[in-house]
Amino acid sequence: MMFTPPSGPVLGLLALALFIQPVGAETVRTKPRAVVELFTSQGCASCPPADALLTSLAAQDDVIALAYHVDYWDYAGWQDTFGDASFSDRQRAYAKSWGSSRIYTPQMVINGQRGVVGSKRNEVYRALQGVSMPLGIDIAREGDAVRISVGAHDGLGDAVVWMVSYRGRADVAIETGENAGKSLVYTQVVTGRQALGMWEAETGADLKLPIAEILPQPGAGIAIVVQQERQGMPGPILGAASFEL
């Protein structure tokens, strides 16, 4: 079942294809056409099909997939091991930006602009048809650091450069709640978000980050997401890239 909790309290040419380049044990991914954010929970019985669909999307050459585990299912008897109140707040902010107070799991958000039921494969693929993002992001290793370059792009408003940290895979045995007794595999599990600074359309942005600090262990990854804001709420995602160990 889907659960609706009570309401509470940006670069370059049009990117139509993703570039994936393995470098040693690293994988660099740039120029996707879509960022798919899944809001999910280990305590939601209808979420496993959406979790599996996200894993499938993450394997595609033109999608960056991210799983945000919310915490509002924890009351039902199982505390999500990756649940975070800030991820629930992000989902609420999306809903508010669309003029709604309703949130539910599983939900997939496409490029920060459209939300669909995450377990409905056909609906998700229809939402992905024809989508693209206008910005390309260069990301590469330089010694013990990762350099991120986001070029200028006239005609776009300024945006925030976010670093989204994630875990490539996690196996979890669910002991209680709606999924009690199941051993589930989760991928692209978001573990944190950090604003790195502003991207200005006239000047772009150039950043250098220490690998030891942002990727502490094998199997970890970061997604760089350039996203506009509207009155403090998340808006369109203009571009993205990822780097994995």
| CB contact set of 103 (below 8 Å; sequence gap of 6+) | 4, 5, 39, 70, 72, 88, 91, 92, 95
Q: What percent of the chain has pLDDT over 90?
A: 82
Residue 76 has pLDDT above 80, yes or no: yes
> For residue range 2-29, what is the model confidence (pLDDT) as tens digits?
444 444 433 332 233 334 454 456 888 8
- pTM of structure: 0.89
Domains detected in the chain: 19-244 (3.40.30.10)
Distance, CA of 140 to CA of 238 (rounded, Å): 19
Residue 181 has pLDDT above 80, yes or no: yes
Angle at 21 between CA 36 and CA 201, to 5 degrees: 60
Burial of 37 (0-12, 13-18, 19+ CB in 10 A): buried
> For residue range 117-156, what is the model confidence (pLDDT) as tens digits?
999 999 999 999 999 999 999 999 999 999 999 999 988 9
> For residue range 26-66, what is the model confidence (pLDDT) as tens digits?
888 888 999 999 999 999 999 999 999 999 999 998 999 99
pLDDT of residue 47: 98
pLDDT, average across residues 204-219: 93
pLDDT of residue 24: 54
pLDDT of residue 49: 98
Task: Report residue 206's pLDDT band, with 50, 70 and 90 as the boundaries.
Answer: very high
pLDDT of residue 211: 95
Burial of 59 (0-12, 13-18, 19+ CB in 10 A): exposed
